[in-house]
Amino acid sequence: MAFKVVVTDDAYIDLVEAINYFESKSLGLGERFFNIYQKKIKEVAKNPFYFSYYTEDFRRISFDNFSYIIIYKVHNSEEVIVYQITFAGRNPETITGKLKGK
């Protein structure tokens, strides 16, 4: 059984900003980024417990060919919530600061 994946508004904004950024760098690159995002979301839905912890409560999955990660939390036995889609090289304090209280 696949988990339902819920993308928060903040994560959706992260996604759109990343797509726009990559598309501005090279035509079609934003689309490639989005295709990898979709693939990774399917992987998370299939087995969210497979991927490593980012912090005590949150897990992460890395993008292929892009230095980006999806940060998510398994909410219950049926649902995964995506909180961030972010550059993997970003200051970890910035990333965890945005996760506080979630």
Model pLDDT for residues 56-71, shown as the tens digit of each residue:
889 999 999 999 999 9
Domain positions in the chain: 4-99
Q: Report if pTM > 0.85.
A: yes
- Distance, in Å, from the CA atom of 22 to the CA atom of 93, rounded to the nearest integer, reads 24
The sign of the torsion formed by the CA atoms of 17, 67, 40, 23 equals positive
- Distance, in Å, from the CA atom of 24 to the CA atom of 7, rounded to the nearest integer, reads 24
Mean residue pLDDT across the chain: 91
Model pLDDT for residues 15-59, shown as the tens digit of each residue:
999 999 999 999 999 999 999 999 999 999 999 999 999 988 899
Structure token digits, residue 23? 């598309």
CATH entry, 4-99, from 1.10.10.10, 3.40.50.800, 3.30.2310.20, 3.40.50.300: 3.30.2310.20
Give the H or E element holding residue 66: none
